[in-house]
Structure 1
Amino acid sequence: MNDDVRLVAWVRGSVQGVGFRWFTRAKALELGGLSGFALNLPDGRVQVVAEGPRPRCEGLLDWLRGDDTPGRVDGVTEIWDTSRGGYDGFAIR
């Protein structure tokens, strides 16, 4: 049985040009067991897709909403889904 989940989060604020995607990848690797990516969107947000055990995805979401991120996070919108797979590690796109 696979208990992995898929988290898709859209982070808004001053999150581009400040190393946000790099730090998000580093946090995902630190938490372990997560795959996915962080991507700058044309509207200034960063999209984060993470798949793995729900507690680790929740840890990444807590970090995205916390005070340790680079730049300034004004808000995070997320959706949860079942894991789809297909990611090799955690990438910066």
Structure 2
Amino acid sequence: MTQKHVFISGRVQGVYYRDYTRREAEKLGIKGWVRNLPDGRVEAVFEGPEDTVENMVAWCYQGSPRSEVIKVEVAKSNPQLKENFIDFKITR
């Protein structure tokens, strides 16, 4: 199991990016959350098997059909700070 903290920049708010992220995460069995940030970026935490989390991060470069992703920043989360997620949520 691994966890990645991701920040997505570009035209990613108001284009259903979070909803498409939730759908893809549920399809892959990823747990965690996604939210909009005040600065226009989207932030997400993905938790699951390493190869599946990598697939989810790769999907972030594509995003929703109306999004225009410019940049995806990825940080491996600190294992001591890992949460025990039970599903994937859109949060505030």
Q: Distance in 2 between matches of 1:60 and 1:86?
A: 18
TM-score, reference length from structure 2: 0.88
Match of 2:24 in 1: 27
Gap runs ≥5 in structure 1: none
Match of 2:85 among 84, 87, 92: 87
**Counterpart AA for 1:77:** E
Displacement over 6 Å in runs of 4+: none
Within the candidate set 5, 24, 33, 2:2 is matched to: 5
Q: Distance in 1 between matches of 2:44 and 2:24?
A: 12
TM-score by length of 1: 0.87
Deviations 1:13-60 (A, max 9, x none): 01001110000010011112x110000000000001011111010000
Answer whether contact 1:15 1:46 (CA < 8 A) is retained: yes
Runs (5+) with no aligned partner, structure 2? none
- For the 8 Å contact 2:8–2:69, the answer to whether it is kept is yes
Find the aligned partners of 2:83 and 2:38 in 1 and give their Cα distance.
Answer: 25
Contact 1:8-1:79 at 8 Å conserved across structures = yes
Q: Could you tell me how far 1:85 is from its partner in structure 2?
A: 2.8
In the alignment, structure 1 residue 16 sits paired with structure 2 residue 9 = no
Aligned length: 88
Tell me the alpha carbon deviations over residues 46-89 of structure 1, each in whole angstroms, 9 at most, x when there is no partner. Answer: 001011111010000111113x5331100100001337133220
